[in-house]
Structure 1
Amino acid sequence: MDRDRQQAREQDTLGHDGGGATGFTDLPSGALSEVAKRLTTDDPVETAKNLGNFKRVGRSARAALKTSPSAGEAVETSPAGAFDARLERLGTSAEALYRAAIPDNGFPEANLEDHRLLAERFRAIGPILQFQSAARKTATVDHILNLPETDLQADAINSMAKHLSDLDHVNRTRLVERAIEIFKQDGPANLETRITATLTLVSGHNHLNYGQKAQVLDAIIGRHDLAELYTGISEHVAPWENATSRSTFGHAVESQSSHLDKSIEAISDSATKLEADRAISPPPPRHLDAIHQVGKSINKAYNSARAELMASDRERDGHGR
């Protein structure tokens, strides 16, 4: 307890919202907003954590992200504050979409009717995977690797190939290693399942580490059938460069903030409705496709919101003090 109090005093000293020597939060609100702007990254979860820590520095930091006026003040939202509010709404929508697609307890007793849709469930959440917590990402990989049949695992892993970079190293390795195992299986194997695993390894090639690439190469050298299969697929499938639409960041900014806010409002409404329909089991394909499309809209909105923030002019020192 004494150490906690000491840490709190040290944090107060660093933040320094009181009088005396100049501290971090004695900076003008425009400068603080600029600091907040630089805490954003292409990872929305990391960005949310960064901004959360920033707001805990002190009252001045929170004021720099204020999105509503105090009594008697005019309504004036800082660009960083507007971004923070948008991120919160998009994160809430992404969570709702995940719950709409993936049961809380996974698929412990997946029936034959569900088998046809399992890969589509995971494909549906691909665009919003980067918005999920580390624990939920691990749970997603657990759900995939706990599927009762190899072909189901292969299909589910392949549905996530485009989004491997949104997973941490450990979980990405778990999926890639399983795909390699399926690809290298000895003896008679379901050709379609092996083809699916090969598709994962080819399309996800840029996300394999050197050791994993070596495993694939050794398998190809040692078995003519695998070499023929891998080469044939490689001629028709190009590796994914990046997950979701991150590579488009900065290429376009919504022309008007009001338009972006309307888009986020529509996303929120759609996500709420889709989550309300989660009781329908199994979900119809159009339901999963809608989740996928709204998820893509969430990514686009995040990229647009961040691009708009980064393009905003820095407020002059002293403004808003």
Structure 2
Amino acid sequence: MDRDNKRARAAASSSQGGREPSNILSLPEGPLSEVAERLVTANPRDTARNLAGFKDLGRQARTAVRGTQPGSETELAKFERRGNQLGQSARELTWKLTSELGYRPDNVALEQVRAVSNIANYLTPHMQDAVVNRIGNMEPASQALGAFNVAPNFGKFNEENKSRILDQAVELASDPDGNIRTVARNAIIAAYHQFDANQQAQAHAVPGMENILRQMPPPQHEAEERNANLDGHIAGLEAAARATGAQISYEQLQRGGLIGQAINRNYSHARADLLEATRNRDREGR
């Protein structure tokens, strides 16, 4: 027992001597803030949860995000503020875009799922399930259209709902009705570059799709110029989301979908600003 106590005292002395941090919160503010920055991902919902969980670790973690200078804002704190604003706008927009989704006729629900799919990466798992369930409860022709409508945003859904959307499209791609087959296959084509290797293999296994998919050109990503007044633009989106009424007409749903696209675009710009600031800091050295 005495030997164990001596070892414990020696270990404590070694740790206090600064040779090696005993846990993540004993790191200096600089390295700890770098840990927090690495929690920022392309997925806004995951990022918000990551940063919230990190700050729950304690005061040092909160300081690593917010900084130590009163009245000043770290780059990470700025990103978090922007992300929170965009998240609130997305939540408000979700409620309006999905109003009475389960009770609307299929032609209206199809436009609702198209619009809300633009912010699928902001939706709770339960709401994602509701959107995909609504598509699955439609007649086959409308199901194919539903898969096609969400295909451009396939990558914004979680893994379970990606599988469900793809399974629907694959099944309908062999439907006896030629129109249904065509729409379902177009859904697969529209989402193809967002598939992982297993999903691509599943798509290639659809009769008649192998040659089409092998000849598809590589994805093209257009460079977007970042907004010089990003905070002002984000504030404008907040106002637009608040002003959006319950979505019933095609034009209203289309506007709501465009706001959703802008929310994701501005999240990407906010993340790019943070990454650029991090690179500049690393080049300059600490």
What is the aligned length? 261
Given the alignment of the two structures, is residue 153 of structure 1 paired with residue 143 of structure 2, yes or no? yes
Give yes or no for contact 2:44–2:83 (8 Å, CA) kept in 1: yes
Give the residue type in structure 2 aligned to 1:294: I
Give yes or no for contact 2:172–2:181 (8 Å, CA) kept in 1: yes
1:128 to 114, 119, 129: 119
Q: How does 1:254-265 map to 2 (within 5 A)?
A: 254-255=227-228, 259-265=229-235
- Where relative contact order (Cα < 8 A, 6+ residues apart) is larger, the structure is 1
Give yes or no for contact 2:192–2:200 (8 Å, CA) kept in 1: no
Q: Residue 243 of structure 2 aligns with which residue?
A: 273
Q: Secondary structure at the match of 2:173?
A: helix
Q: Residue 182 of structure 2 aligns with which residue?
A: 195
Q: How does 1:61-210 map to 2 (within 5 A)?
A: 61-66=61-66, 74-103=70-99, 106-107=101-102, 109-111=103-105, 115-147=106-138, 149-186=139-176, 189=177, 191-206=178-193, 207=195, 209-210=199-200
Distance 1:25 1:253 in 2: 35
**1:171-218 C-alpha deviation (Å, 9 max, x unpaired):** 2121111112222123xx2x33322112112222332625523431xx
Q: How does 1:41-52 map to 2 (within 5 A)?
A: 41-52=41-52
Distance 1:29 1:252 in 2: 33
How has the CA–CA distance of structure 1 residues 200 and 240 changed in structure 2, closer, same or farther, with 3 Å as cutoff? farther
Give yes or no for contact 1:64–1:81 (8 Å, CA) kept in 2: no
How has the CA–CA distance of structure 1 residues 182 and 240 changed in structure 2, closer, same or farther, with 3 Å as cutoff? farther
> 1:142 Cα deviation (Å)?
1.2
How has the CA–CA distance of structure 1 residues 253 and 30 changed in structure 2, closer, same or farther, with 3 Å as cutoff? farther
TM-score normalized with structure 2 length: 0.79
Give the residue type in structure 2 aligned to 1:90: L
Where in structure 1 are there 5+ consecutive unaligned residues? Answer: 1-18, 221-225
Q: How does 1:275-290 map to 2 (within 5 A)?
A: 277-278=245-246, 283-290=248-255
**1:145-182 C-alpha deviation (Å, 9 max, x unpaired):** 122x1122111110011111222332212111111222
Where in structure 2 are there 5+ consecutive unaligned residues? Answer: 1-15
Greater helix fraction, Structure 1 or Structure 2: 2
How has the CA–CA distance of structure 1 residues 119 and 240 changed in structure 2, closer, same or farther, with 3 Å as cutoff? farther
TM-score normalized with structure 1 length: 0.71
Give the residue type in structure 2 aligned to 1:289: Q
How has the CA–CA distance of structure 1 residues 310 and 214 changed in structure 2, closer, same or farther, with 3 Å as cutoff? closer
Percent identical = 25
Distance 1:77 1:64 in 2: 11
> 1:304 Cα deviation (Å)?
0.9
> 1:110 Cα deviation (Å)?
3.6
Distance 1:174 1:200 in 2: 13
How has the CA–CA distance of structure 1 residues 296 and 110 changed in structure 2, closer, same or farther, with 3 Å as cutoff? closer
> 1:293 Cα deviation (Å)?
1.1
**1:4-41 C-alpha deviation (Å, 9 max, x unpaired):** xxxxxxxxxxxxxxx99754334343333222111111
How has the CA–CA distance of structure 1 residues 103 and 241 changed in structure 2, closer, same or farther, with 3 Å as cutoff? farther
Give yes or no for contact 2:98–2:112 (8 Å, CA) kept in 1: yes
